[in-house]
Chain A
Amino acid sequence: QITLKESGPTLVKPTQTLTLTCAFSGFSLSTSGVGVGWIRQPPGKALEWLALTYWTDDTRYSPSLKSRLTIAKDTSKNQVVLTMTNMEPVDTATYYCAHMESSYDSSGYYTNWYFDLWGRGTLVTVSA
């Protein structure tokens, strides 16, 4: 059974750096074809993808937030950490991490990635 749980500060001040941890169980990020992503949702608004990491060291970032984000996996701890610098009030949101599934095609590549299982999310408020 796959589970994910986000943790981190509930309140950060403007200009501070946010560090969130996604602790997961039921899978390993050393297994081929696996990934973890981060998505956020401001109160009453839509989902916004932030970053993802694959079982390799390959990572991807939202173009609009790339300069502020870093995602890192710790395979030994079954964790993925997201850091976001220079936090602003508009960054107030519920932050979710999610397991990524894929399919192995005949060419020997993992393709058709998607977020299949999500954590419950953690609300982060940015305020002085």
Chain B
Amino acid sequence: QSVLTQPPSASGTPGQRVTISCSGSSSNIGSNHVYWYQQLPGTAPKLLIYRNSQRPSGVPDRFSGSKSGTSTSLAVSGLRSEDEADYYCAAWDDSLSGWVFGGGTKLTVL
């Protein structure tokens, strides 16, 4: 059971906009930045969004992050086949004094 809650799956057709949610509590998302990672099949996680909504260089602006209270979401617009991957949210948890991850969302491009 992950501390951060994500839907196990999401899907969309090419060109669509898909949103993946991640909910937590006041000790993690509510008081700290959120990070999103993309994990393509058979590869290591790659940083997609940092500090709630910032994109590292090289990440397309089709990916965007937002946070409100104890929830956060990742939006993927203009969906492409190469976006098919697992997506994880992460945050520092003040109560646990450690990092917590979501259970991951498998994004399927139909």
Contact = CB atoms under 8 A, between A and B. Distances in A.
A96 B92 contact: no
B31 to A, nearest CB: 12
Contact of B99 (A46, A49, A96, A121): A49
B66 to A, nearest CB: 17
Interface string A26-68: 0000000000010100000011110010000000111100000
Contacts of B101: 39, 46-49
Interface residues of B, number: 24
A113 B92 contact: yes
Please classify the interface of chain B as helix (H, G, I), strand (E, B), loop, or mixed, using the class held by over half of its residues.
Answer: strand
Interface in B32-54: 33, 35, 37, 43-47, 50-51
Interface of B: 2, 33, 35, 37, 43-47, 50-51, 56, 88, 90, 92, 96-104
Interface of A: 37, 39, 46-49, 52, 60-63, 96, 101, 112-121
